[in-house]
Structure 1
Amino acid sequence: MPNPSQPAFVLVRPQMGENIGASARAMWNFALDRMWLVAPRDGWPNPSARAMASGAGRVLDAAEVSGTTAEAVAGCSFVLATTARGRGLTKPVFSPERAMQEARDRIARGERVAVLFGPERAGLENDDIARANAIVSVPVNPDYGSLNLAQCVLLMAYEWRRATAEVVPESVELAGAEWAEQAEIEALSAHYEERMEEAGFFFPEHKAESMKLNLRNLWSRMPLTRADVRTLHGILRQMVRWKERGR
């Protein structure tokens, strides 16, 4: 099986070309391009698959085809089988996250890993699962455990990406802006404090210091850019001018 640096995604007896194409698209979203097809119902190649792949045709071009699951996984040392139902077989059961961590670690040691996905109608058969070393169980709604083939492929591909690449949990798109520096925030705070003092905001007098402290703390909690600071200065200046014109 080629490219041992990533797991092979093995679609066992897929029924619809559209689902094969959608699976290829899901794989390529996360830089996976090792697809293996076991006895696709409508033969191969399939024009419906290519139409659905939407730019992920390279995955289809490189896809391997075999007649049996045994042939597809013959070169692998570790095989995972995705299934939503208990099959009465004694095997380790992994979550998708843990399964892809295991795949990552084994591949790093030079092993070849495959992930089996069953046909749309009923999923993998026991004969397929018996060839796997472990089961992957998705924690879906117990009253409705049916996952579309491409959905399951996408979920596993995403977990592979999480296991092998840095995923930033949160970021801010500054769109060309820069964060304001502390000196700029301090000047903004002083500007507002001065004008609010003139307006009699800090009343009664014995509460003035705590009110000023709360105001400074408010500015420090706000993630302000330099453009934000200029805007807030401008708003206050215009309000003061408007008040003076009304006298």
Structure 2
Amino acid sequence: MTDRPGQPRMVLVRPQMGENIGAAARAMLNFGLEDMQLVAPRDGWPNPAARAMASGAGRVLDRAQVAEDTAAAVASCHWVLATTARPRGMTIPVLSPEAAMREARARIASGARVGVLFGPERAGLENADIARANAVVSVPVNPDYPSLNLAQCVLLMGYEWRRATTEMAAERVELAGTAWASQAEVEALARHYETRLDEAGFFFPEEKAESMKRNLRNLWSRMPLTRSDAQILHGILRQMVRWAGRQR
């Protein structure tokens, strides 16, 4: 059995459809996971349907190992998680996917090998499989429809693994060939508009002119303008002034 250091082993227990194995491989590679273990796949292995569905993730299938039973699949693991949506009447820690992958990261960093069990499509893991796990992972799904597709469950755990091991900004802005406008550029834009609006008699009545100018400058300051934005706004005003001049 070949371990992939630095990541959990995704163990598909008695998967029934090759298509779901391929989709699971694709989900794994989406999030940098390549250690797949298959336990007694129903339709044998290798499976052409799995490769067709993997869509570029064939290397995960090439490295996949096959075990006769769950005990053999997790024999080299130090900590095992079982994914299930149903209570099983066992005394066992129950973790959210997020907490499970945080703990997996910590254990793997300390040198442990971690396995994650996923059950067959029809009924999920059996109690005998779950009894071999150190903790259960429970997804907060709709209680009226708790069944997750095998590949969906693998995708969810892969996503949480990626979140636990990769720094991700909660929000970012893609600047398409531009940069944020500097204070000087925003000031020039504000001055341009103030001058032209003043010429057009916009700041009226006179006693409100100063507060109107202040509010206008504050508007520009609140806007997250790029240099391209500022150039477009300058251009709009210039064109409007030209058009107004032609109407006279």
2:175 matched residue in structure 1:
174
Q: State the distance in 1 between where 2:87 and 2:206 align.
A: 72
Higher mean alpha-carbon deviation, 55-64 vs 214-223, is at 214-223
Q: State the distance in 1 between where 2:229 and 2:100 align.
A: 45
Q: Percent identity?
A: 76
Spell out, residue by residue over 1:135-190, the C-alpha distance to the aligned partner (whole angstroms, 9 max, x if none): 00000011110100000000000000000011121111112112111101100000
2:205 matched residue in structure 1:
204
Shift of 1:202: 1.3
Answer yes or no: is the 8 Å Cα contact 2:82–2:116 preserved in 1: yes
- What secondary structure is seen at the aligned counterpart in 1 of 2:12? strand
Shift of 1:210: 1.7
Q: State the distance in 2 between where 1:85 and 1:160 align.
A: 22
1:213 matched residue in structure 2:
214
- Aligned pairs for 1:98-137 within 5 A: 98-137=99-138
Answer yes or no: is the 8 Å Cα contact 2:39–2:66 preserved in 1: yes
1:242 matched residue in structure 2:
243
Shift of 1:234: 0.9
2:12 matched residue in structure 1:
11
1:39 matched residue in structure 2:
40
Shift of 1:194: 0.7
- What secondary structure is seen at the aligned counterpart in 2 of 1:116? strand
Q: State the distance in 1 between where 2:153 and 2:12 align.
A: 11
**Equivalent AA in structure 2 for residue 134 of structure 1:** A
Q: State the distance in 1 between where 2:137 and 2:174 align.
A: 36
Q: State the distance in 2 between where 1:50 and 1:94 align.
A: 32
Q: State the distance in 2 between where 1:235 and 1:246 align.
A: 17
Shift of 1:222: 1.5
Shift of 1:196: 0.8
Q: CA RMSD in A?
A: 0.8
Shift of 1:131: 0.2
* Segments ≥4 residues shifted beyond 2 Å: none
Q: State the distance in 1 between where 2:51 and 2:132 align.
A: 30
Unaligned runs of 5+ in 1: none
Answer yes or no: is the 8 Å Cα contact 2:4–2:34 preserved in 1: no
Shift of 1:134: 0.2
Paired residues, number = 247
* TM-score, with length taken from structure 1: 0.98
* TM-score, with length taken from structure 2: 0.98
2:68 matched residue in structure 1:
67
Shift of 1:198: 1.2
Spell out, residue by residue over 1:106-149, the C-alpha distance to the aligned partner (whole angstroms, 9 max, x if none): 00111110000000000000000000000000000111101000
Answer yes or no: is the 8 Å Cα contact 2:84–2:138 preserved in 1: yes
Shift of 1:3: 2.0
2:53 matched residue in structure 1:
52
Higher mean alpha-carbon deviation, 129-138 vs 194-203, is at 194-203
Shift of 1:220: 1.3
Higher mean alpha-carbon deviation, 70-79 vs 170-179, is at 170-179
Q: State the distance in 1 between where 2:213 and 2:41 align.
A: 72
